[in-house]
Amino acid sequence: MFESVSLQLLLILLVSFGLAGFIKGLAGFGMPLVAVPATTLMAGVPVTTAMAWSLVPIMATNLLQAIQGRMHLAVLRRLWPLFAGLLLTLMLSTRLLAEISSQLLSGLVGMMLLFSVAAQLLRPKPVKVRWQPLYLGASGVISGALGGVTSFFSFPALQSMLSVGIGKDEFIFAASLLLMSGSLVIGSALGSHGLMVGRDLLVSAAVLLPALAGLWLGQRARSRVSVQSFRRIVLLVLLATGLGMMANSWL
């Protein structure tokens, strides 16, 4: 089934998804944020193809982390406005996935992401409890709207989780559940628009092993990281994502 897959492409996929799995295990998110740009830039495939190849590892790693963190299910009582706003908006906005060029929007989202990271680093003020439902709901709507045309729906959803002060393990659980749910919507949209075919699913299944290996290594590293260091890692991943999205808009 992989007659057309060269050794060079195979190595690119192994490295890209192994690294993406490691970042995912360490920070709780980052699989598509690492795998998609790396695969697109190094392998020269379209973004939609890279997204399709990422689908199985994204679903599997997020499902695994959600199951591992199921004891933190109670955190959803605080975060449900974020989930509702993101998923409902994403279902509507993915209709534009095959119609709108996301190059300019990708750059704008990257710029906003850099500003948000800077704000967290300079003035990390938590959101007051009474404003958290509205803040989370608005963040979900914005994330869903941007995600429908860029396929990246983690901003500002993940940043908003940090702002309401949930714990490290709660963040891992909630982020995994959110990313898994959103990826189902994105995957359905790719399939309905003919942007994902059977061969893409086979490639996606094949890169699951390096992704899981990277995930295991990242989780072992996370167990040795303090809460303060974990927060810095999350913000650094967001910073790298912003820079990557801006760079992608210029290519």
Domains in the chain: boundaries: 7-250
Q: Where are the alpha helices (DSSP H) in 69-192?
A: 76-93, 103-122, 132-150, 157-163, 168-192
Cβ count near 9 (within 10 Å): 17
pLDDT reading at 234 higher than 60: yes
pLDDT of residue 109: 65
pLDDT tens string 36-66: 878 877 887 877 888 899 999 999 999 998 9
User: Residue 24's pLDDT band (boundaries 50, 70, 90)?
Assistant: confident
DSSP conformation letters of 169-197: HHHHHHHHHHHHHHHHHHHHHHHHTT---
CA distance 66 to 64: 5
Once rounded to an integer, what is the mean pLDDT over residues 92-104? 73
DSSP 70: G
- Exposure string of 92-128, with b = 16+ CB inside 10 Å and e = fewer, is ebbeebeeeebeebbbebbebbbebbeebeeeeeebe
- Region of poorest pLDDT, from 37-51, 202-216, 224-238: 224-238
pLDDT of residue 31: 85
pLDDT tens string 4-20: 567 888 899 999 999 89
Contacts by 36-40 with C-beta closer than 8 Å and gap 24+?
36/151, 37/244, 37/248, 38/12, 39/12, 39/13, 40/248
Structure tokens belonging to residue 72: 């933190």
Structure tokens belonging to residue 28: 């709780």
Radius of gyration of the chain (CA): 17
CA angle, 148 as apex, 39 and 249 as ends, to 5°? Answer: 50
pLDDT tens string 141-175: 999 998 887 777 888 898 889 889 888 889 989 99
- Region of poorest pLDDT, from 108-117, 181-190, 207-216, 234-243: 108-117
pLDDT of residue 190: 86
For residue 148, the one-letter residue type is G
235 compared with 97, residue with greater pLDDT: 235
pLDDT reading at 71 higher than 60: yes
pLDDT of residue 162: 84
pLDDT of residue 178: 94
